[in-house]
Every structure is written in structure tokens, then in C-alpha cells.
Amino acid sequence: MEMRARLVVEGFITGLHKSPYHGFSVEFAEHRQYMPGDPIRNIDWKVFAKSDRYYVKEFEEETNLKAYLLLDTSGSMRFTSGKITKLQYASYLTAALAFLMLKQRDAVGLVAFDEQIRQYIPPKSTSVHLHALLLGLEKLKPAEKTNVPRALHEMAERIKRRGLIVVLSDLLDNPAQVLAGLKHFRHRKHEVIVFHVLDPYERRFSFPAESIFKDMETGEELSTIPWQIKADYQRSIAAFIERYSRECRQSLIDYVVMDTSQTYDFALFAYLAKRRRLF
């Protein structure tokens, strides 16, 4: 988990520095020449070794941001049409976000939920805290049923200090109730970003022959011929996504649709864009 997180984030940072988006600095704003009175600890010794001149890293202003990563571990997150389940994808993304946040000296915590809160690791900003977060992610196992609204409302009441709430879920629950839970965070003055994680087949419904579909949480089965209902299904999933997008936008909640075929850079960039707007 740590290796994946490190590779994803370091690759992303390298890409940022090579792209037009270099303004999204994750470590420091710029170098400037050392002046008497500057803290010696901020001298960049690598630059000194190359130039024989003293330069200091001019860091971005400390923000004391507290972030909470809320990860859905319900049964539906076990679904996959390929090599990686939604839960694995969301877990790796959670690990990468935690790594990036701690690299920015922000405090980050983890909340894993299904029908109820299964794991809660309070936010800290120390480097050793990353190990606790990744260990928690490694131990996660998908449950059967889900109750996204209950988990959201419970955490909205539990988190007292204003912070950044990051939700990673397939949101396969009652949209009105889920949105009410997300709005509860906004009512409590939290900033919210939602990563709606889906499988490509859940978006395109690219099933070939007659199939039996089984609910991964209730066990209910339905036999059907996919091509006969594909158009209706695609309209339904599009309306499902559009409703989340519209109501999140109206409530000033960042909403990002992702599927497990996408690279993690897309999500990390969305997070950095959100963070920059906050400060």
C-alpha cells in the first residue's frame, strides 16, 4: 500500500512540475537567496551543492488543515469487471491522498464505513501517522450491506472543528438521503469533496449475453438480456450521476465521477484544486 501511494504521488508531482499546472506546489512556493536572519533549517543543501550559493525554500503558508477520508467498504464496493474492485481502487486512492496530504503537512484521518462506522483513525500530521493509516487500509474487508447516510450524519455530528471531508464511495444508496448527509457537513461549515467511484461496466452496461445479475448486498437475483435494457439503464445511470452533480454543485460540494479504469492523477488534481480554493 505504501509503495503504491508513494509511486502514485511522486509520479503525479513529477508530472505537475512538467505541466502548465506547476502552480499547484505541494512542498514549497519557490527558492530565494538566503538572507541573514533566515532559519538555517530552510537552506536547500542540494541547491547549495550545485550552485555553491545559499538558497532557502520559501514555503506556502501553514494551513492547519484537518482532512477526513471517508471510505465506503460496503458489499457493492467488491464489484469488478476487470482486475481491480471498486474498493481496491478507492483504497489505493485513499492511500495516495493521505500520502499527499501529509506531504503538505496537513492532518489527515481515516473513516471506514458500511452500515456503520467500522474504523476511525483521528487526524494527525506526523510522518509516522502514515503507517497507521496505511495499516488500517490494508486490514479493511468489504462488508455486506451499506448505509451511507447514517455514516455521513454520524461523522458530521462527531467532527467538531471545521475541516475538509473527502468521501470515496459508489453512492449506491438512496440519493436523497445521501445528499442530505453530505449537506449536513456543509451545514456544519465543513468543505466537502466527493469521489464517486464506479466500475466502467456500471456506467456503460457492456454485458454481452443473457446474464443473471446478483445484488452483492442482499443476494437478490435478476435474469435479463442486457442489450434489451441497455438504453434504459444508461439513461437511468446518467440521471443518477446528473442528480448528484447538480445538487452537489448547488450546495458548493465538489463532485468528481471516477471509474476504476482512470488514473489517480485526475483525483489528485481535483483535490489540489479544492485545497487551493480553500486557502
| pLDDT on residue 186 | 96
User: How are beta strands 221-224 and 254-259 bridged, if at all?
Assistant: unpaired
Provide the total of helices (H) and of strands (E) in the chain, helices listed first. Answer: 9, 10
First to last CA, the chain: 30
- Sign, CA torsion 157/250/100/84: positive
Q: Quick check: 193 and 166 in contact, CB under 8 A?
A: yes
What would you measure as the largest C-alpha separation in the chain, in angstroms?
A: 76
Distance CA 39, CA 213 (A): 63
Distance CA 24, CA 8 (A): 16
As given in the structure block, the three cell numbers for residue 152 are 455521513
Q: Domains of the chain by range and CATH?
A: 28-59 (no CATH), 66-278 (3.40.50.410)
| pLDDT on residue 141 | 84
User: How are beta strands 55-58 and 30-33 bridged, if at all?
Assistant: antiparallel
Ranges under pLDDT 50 in the chain:
17, 19-29, 60-62
Q: Per-residue DSSP letters for 247-260?
A: HHHHTT-EEEEEET
What HEC string does 163-176 produce?
CEEEEEECCCCCHH
Distance CA 93, CA 133 (A): 13
| pLDDT on residue 70 | 98
Strand partners, 86: none
| pLDDT on residue 113 | 95
| pLDDT on residue 266 | 85
As given in the structure block, the three cell numbers for residue 158 are 462527531
Angle at 227 between CA 224 and CA 233, to 5 degrees: 80
Distance CA 64, CA 43 (A): 23
Q: Which of 42, 55, 74 lies closest to 178 in space, CA to CA?
A: 74
